[in-house]
Amino acid sequence: MWFEGRLVESGYPVRLEVTDRVIGRIESLHTAQDVWIAPGLLDIQVNGYMGHDVNARDVTPRDIIDLVHALWQRGVTALCPTVITQSEVHICHALQAIATACKADPLVAHAISCIHVEGPYISPEDGPRGAHPLAHVRPPDLAEYARWQEAAEGRIGIITLSPEYPAVSEYIRSVTADGVIVAIGHTGAKEDDIRAAVDAGARLSTHLGNGSHAQIQRHPNYIWEQLAEDRLMASFICDGHHLPPAVMKAMLRAKGVERSLLVSDAVAVAGLEPGIYQTVVGGQVELLPGGRLNLYNTPYLAGSTSSLPECIANVVRYAGLTLADAVRMASVNPVQLLGLDTLQRRGSVRSGAAADLTFFHIDQFSGELIIEATIVHGELVYQRKAEQDT
């Protein structure tokens, strides 16, 4: 297969070949259509989309497969399905469903880079806990982690926790030695606890600036501590609701493009029509026409309903970043965090690299990214024009 467009990284017009699951020849062109070619988008934190819920009590492997397929239509070639705070039985059920989906469909297995477990080892305080159920918040437990990995068949790759618990450093060192990335999130931890967690091996801040108290001490505080810690990468929900534009701009400038990732943190009602919905975690919620999701009859956020293309557009629009840098934070950086650049040659558009690619154009009026095609493991899994013609 041959494709034409402009490389996001350089703007050069090219014609590239996809063959045997890799990028083959890349030929320069004098001109090209207004389609951008990017490394495949990777969302390391996604709870659901288009009604498919990773955390539903009765989630099935089919639900996971359908979620992956739905995100391919948004240019997301890979994801980390995110299992949140619940009982151990509930968590293990979700982990088993994901593992079974991977065994049932090799292309889905390729698209699921790893599983992200967000909680249950988070702060029990209102604010930092977010929408996670208090009844299931608990201290880190290595024996439970072993049971998780057994249910997931070794696919857990990220765990988000709060480093405020006793012996948390021992937990971080143990799971890090097992190849898991530990992220700090949903925390009200003291600065010393955060530094100790990083010393023990924590590498990421989960949706920095969110999952925190409504009011905190001006300085020092746990947000500044993570923002200034160069050993931590940080993910950000740039949906236009979780971080005000000025905060988004300041945080990305402080952390730097090279240490920043975009995540959707999308919930199951993302992609659906505005209305009132019943959710597993948040209860009754209202999806407003502008994309904001509130707890019903309150002004409080109940989750994100954006996918990565919206977050990329918002970063360009509100933070003043280039398109290349915005796309990098949703493709190259998460690939490098997970080590997929060396293990699987993902995250670049070069001859010999893995053929995981996202093609899009930018609407000249709205600035939104319109996904034209998605290639996963060398297969064309979505094409907009073909869909419109059928």
Question: How does pLDDT run across 226-279, given as a tens digit for each residue?
Answer: 999 999 999 999 999 999 999 999 999 999 999 999 999 999 999 999 999 988
Q: Decide if 107 is inside a domain.
A: yes
Give the model's pLDDT for residue 389: 47
> Does residue 299 surpass a pLDDT of 50?
yes
> Does residue 301 surpass a pLDDT of 90?
no
Question: How does pLDDT run across 198-207, given as a tens digit for each residue?
Answer: 999 999 999 9
Q: Decide if 352 is inside a domain.
A: no
Higher-confidence residue of 214 and 196: namely 196
Give the model's pLDDT for residue 131: 87
User: If you average pLDDT over residues 154-183, what whole number do you get?
Assistant: 98
Of the candidates 159, 152, 140, 132, the one whose C-alpha atom is nearest the C-alpha of residue 44 is: 159
Parallel, antiparallel, or unpaired: how do β-strands 36-39 and 357-362 relate?
Answer: antiparallel
> Does residue 32 surpass a pLDDT of 80?
no
CB neighbour list of residue 170: distance below 8 Å, 6 or more residues apart: 142, 200
> Does residue 12 surpass a pLDDT of 50?
yes
CATH assignment of the domain containing 219:
3.20.20.140
* 183 neighbors 201 (Cβ within 8 angstroms): no
Q: Decide if 109 is inside a domain.
A: yes
Q: Decide if 72 is inside a domain.
A: yes
DSSP per-residue letters across 287-351: E-TTS-EEETTSSSEEEB---HHHHHHHHHHHH---HHHHHHTTTHHHHHHHTHHHHS--S--ST
pTM of the model as a whole: 0.96
Give the model's pLDDT for residue 207: 98
Q: Decide if 152 is inside a domain.
A: yes
Question: How many domains does the chain divide into?
Answer: 1
3-class SS letters over 149-200: HHHHCCCEEEEEECCCCCCHHHHHHHHHHCCCEEEECCCCCCHHHHHHHHHH
Q: Decide if 30 is inside a domain.
A: no
Question: How does pLDDT run across 122-151, given as a tens digit for each residue?
Answer: 999 999 999 899 999 999 999 999 999 999
Question: How does pLDDT run across 324-339, given as a tens digit for each residue?
Answer: 999 999 999 999 999 9
Q: Decide if 258 is inside a domain.
A: yes
Q: Decide if 176 is inside a domain.
A: yes
User: If you average pLDDT over residues 171-188, what whole number do you get?
Assistant: 98
Question: How does pLDDT run across 82-98, given as a tens digit for each residue?
Answer: 999 999 999 999 999 99
Q: Alpha-carbon Rg of the chain, whole angstroms?
A: 20
- What does the alpha-carbon distance between residue 372 and residue 361 come to, in Å, rounded to a whole number? 7
Which residue range is the domain that position 200 belongs to? 41-343
Of the candidates 136, 56, 127, the one whose C-alpha atom is nearest the C-alpha of residue 97 is: 56
Of the candidates 34, 31, 33, 28, the one whose C-alpha atom is nearest the C-alpha of residue 16 is: 28
Res. 282 pLDDT band, cuts 50 70 90? low
